[in-house]
Amino acid sequence: MKQFALARLAPLAFALTLIGLWQLLADLNLISPIFFPSPARAFAVLEYRLADGSLWGSLAGTSLRMVFGWLLASIAGVILGAAIGSSRLTRDLLDPTLEFIRPLPASAVIPVAILFLGLSNAMSLTVIAFGAIWPVLLASVHGFSTVQHELSDVSNVLGFGRRQFLQKIALPSALPDIIAGLRVSLAIALILTVVTEMQSSLPGLGWDIFFAQRSYRSADLYAGLILLAALGFTANHLILLLERRALRWRTLRT
Amino acid sequence: MQAIRKQGVAAQPDASGVPALSIRDLSVSFGAPSAGGLTVLDHINIDVRDGEFLCIVGSSGSGKTTLLRVLAGLFRPTQGEVLFNGQPIAGPSRDRAIIFQDYSKALLPWRTVRGNVALSLEARGIPAGQQDAVIDELLAKMGLRAAKDKFPGQLSGGMQQRVQIARCLAQEPKILLMDEPFGALDAMTRQALQDEILQLAAEKQTTVVFITHDLEEAIYLGDRVAVIGGAPARIVEMIDVDLPRPRNQLTTRENSHFLAHRHRLFELLTRHQSAQHGGIGIASRNGGNG
């Protein structure tokens, strides 16, 4: 029990030490507070702006963009991954094109997206979906293409059609890969949410920190960063929770 | 314990005339023969009688599994055909269940024992409300009642193989095709499952084609034993097993006929092995039972 408590407390102590060092550095005034605020100031601004409600709108905007962009990427990625992973024909057809597009940095697509969609949420979602689709797509292709051949045989003997095979056998079989891909995609979705907000002044945390930097309000900038980190942390943990539930069978072993 | 069945007269021609499976002049090659293709099975002819328990023995890599996949309709032969109740096999069917050696790959690890058996009922279009009764009966029969809500990964190898058998029985097949089903199990579990499968086959008069490389297992279970050997593999010998049923792990294995069959099969296989590349037969990795 004591060991357990220590194992839980040590990481917390480490984080608090880092914040303490940060406070110490700021107190030494080596760097002007205009560029480098103390954690006390950053957290004070965070608290104040959460209390007066001015940060909630930004947090909501960023969260929604991240989640919807990620959902778009996930749905498209799984469907495309199933098509490619379970059929030689679609793989041969689509693979060369996808392999050509994949190395393209998602941020390089932003100008194109702006030309078509303007400085809008639609533009942001398109860019997020474009960048976040790859991890879930590749993981899905792998998952669907490595279904045990015994299971394909079982499916054929039982007379399952393509739809039933995908639904009852292939999708659950690929799920561990898919969920791993979903997690990586979510991290990319958050990055691109922030980038597109900065690029096109969409109301969100990305724009907030960009604007705070330009107006030399460093405490606001750091408050935004802290909130962004908390958002990413929470989202990742939600997926881990989903994973543990959906893949319960993997953790139950003799 | 076991219903009286065929009373050791399995070798006689079937009265009804139509074999359950008729393998006719079957050959399988991989790759074009002109381009140095590999022939695995060479002009195989077997009639499997209705209700018969036929064992096929041969060394590893002799094409036994390929033969079974052809019988299941999962693999198209290069030459010849297989008739199922007089009709050519065009593809897989629920009437011919296949049981794989590697149960861990053949079960759905994300479904419970109950869910795995339910898969066959879903395939038969049985509504969810009516599945429980069938599942409970099958699980009780296979000694899996207590494991109903466990996942395959939580079970021993013997229990997992029972789940696979239960799932195959749930599809109500006319024929069980078994591919070295007990090869990965320990000796005690294997003997228990041998007796269970004999009892199941006797109860429903199910035709069984059982592949093994364990000679004693083949003699113990079979009405007949087909020996395949050589490269490409052919039927080397077809032996009628004149041992009384129900079989018994002690008395059957001590029967002088059992020992004579074992002697003969051993010689046959070693002869055909030395022609190949040595060393499987009775001294298999599972060590046989004796």
Task: Please check whether residue A158 touches B, CB under 8 A.
Answer: yes
Rounded-to-integer distance, Cα B137 and Cα B125, Å: 18
User: Within the 47-106 window of chain A, which residues sit less than 8 Å (CB to CB) from chain B?
Assistant: none
Q: What is the Cβ-side half-sphere exposure of residue A44, based on CA atoms within 13 angstroms?
A: 7
Give pLDDT, residue B290: 31
The answer to whether residues A186 and A97 touch, using CB atoms and an 8 Å cutoff, is: no
Domain carrying residue A54: 50-247
Give the pLDDT of residue A72: 98
CA-atom Rg of chain B in angstroms: 19
| Statement: residue B281 has pLDDT above 70 | no
Inter-chain contacts counted by CB atoms under 8 A, chains A and B: 68
A3 at B interface, C-beta within 8 A: no
pLDDT at position A60 is: 96
| Residue A179 tokens, joined | 């969920």
The mean pLDDT value for B221-238 works out to: 90
H or E segment to which residue A147 belongs: none
Q: With respect to residue A112, please indicate whether it lies within any of the assigned structural domains.
A: yes
Q: How many separate domains does chain A show?
A: 1
Select from B219, B224, B210, B230 the least CA-distant residue to B101: B210
Judge whether A61 lies within some domain: yes
Cα A30 from Cα B249, distance rounded (Å): 87
What residue type is A56 in one-letter code? Answer: W
Provide the ipTM: 0.84
Residue A205 forms part of a structural domain: yes
Asked if residue A43 is part of any domain, the answer here is: no
- How confident is the model at residue B233, as a pLDDT? 87
Residues of chain A contacting residue B147, judged by C-beta atoms under 8 Å apart: none
- B264/B270 Cα distance (integer angstroms): 10
Assigned domain for A179 exists? yes
DSSP labels, B115-169? HHHHHHHHHTT--GGGHHHHHHHHHHHTT-GGGTTS-GGGS-HHHHHHHHHHHHH
- Residue A89 belongs to some domain of the structure: yes
Handedness of CA B276, B279, B283, B285 (dihedral sign): negative
Supply the CATH number for residue A108's domain.
1.10.3720.10
- Put simply, the answer to whether B120 touches A158 (Cβ < 8 Å) is yes
Q: Which residue of B has its CA nearest to A248?
A: B110
Mean pLDDT (chain A, rounded): 93
List the single residue in B91, B93, B105 with the smallest CB-CB distance to A150.
B105
Q: Choose between B36 and A65: higher pLDDT.
A: A65
| Strands, E assignment, A121-190 | none
Residue A45 counted as domain residue? no
Query: At residue B7, does pLDDT exceed 90?
Result: no
Please state the rounded mean pLDDT for residues B40-57.
93
Q: Is residue A230 part of a domain?
A: yes
For A60-79, what is the mean pLDDT? Answer: 97
Contacts of B22 (CB under 8 A, 6+ apart): B46, B47, B48, B82, B83, B86
Query: What is the phi/psi pair of residue B175, to 5°?
Result: -130, 140
Q: Tell me if B153 and A254 make a contact (CB, 8 A cut-off).
A: yes
Region B158-178: mean pLDDT is 96
Closest partner residue to A157 (CB to CB) among B92, B110, B150 is B92
pLDDT tens column, A128-173: 999 999 999 999 999 999 999 999 999 999 999 999 999 999 999 9
Q: Looking at residue A252, what is its pLDDT? A: 78
Among B66, B100, B149, pick the best mutation site for testing chain A contact (most A Cβ within 10 A): B100
Instruction: Provide mean pLDDT across the span B187-213.
Output: 94
Residue B8 has pLDDT above 80, yes or no: no
End-to-end CA distance of chain A: 25
Closest residue, chain B, to A245 (C-alpha): B110
Omega into B173 within 30° of 0, i.e. cis?
A: no
Quick one: average pLDDT of B274-279? 51
Q: Which residue has the higher pLDDT, A53 or A2?
A: A53
Nearest chain A residue to B164 by CA distance is A154
Cβ–Cβ gap A168/B122 under 8 Å: yes
pLDDT at B278 over 70: no
Distance of residue A168 Cα from the nearest chain B Cα, in angstroms: 8
B10 versus B102: the higher-pLDDT residue is: B102
Report H helices in A39-170. 39-51, 54-85, 88-101, 110-117, 121-145, 149-157, 162-164
Q: Point out the least confidently predicted range of A42-46, A214-218, B61-65, B155-159.
A: B61-65
What confidence tier does B11 reach under pLDDT thresholds 50, 70, 90?
very low
- List the single residue in A with minimal CA-CA distance to B121: A158
* Per-residue pLDDT band at A30 (split at 50, 70, 90): confident
Q: What is the pLDDT of residues B71-91, one digit of tens each?
A: 999 999 999 999 999 999 999
Q: B285 falls in which pLDDT band (50, 70, 90)?
A: very low
pLDDT of residue B59: 78
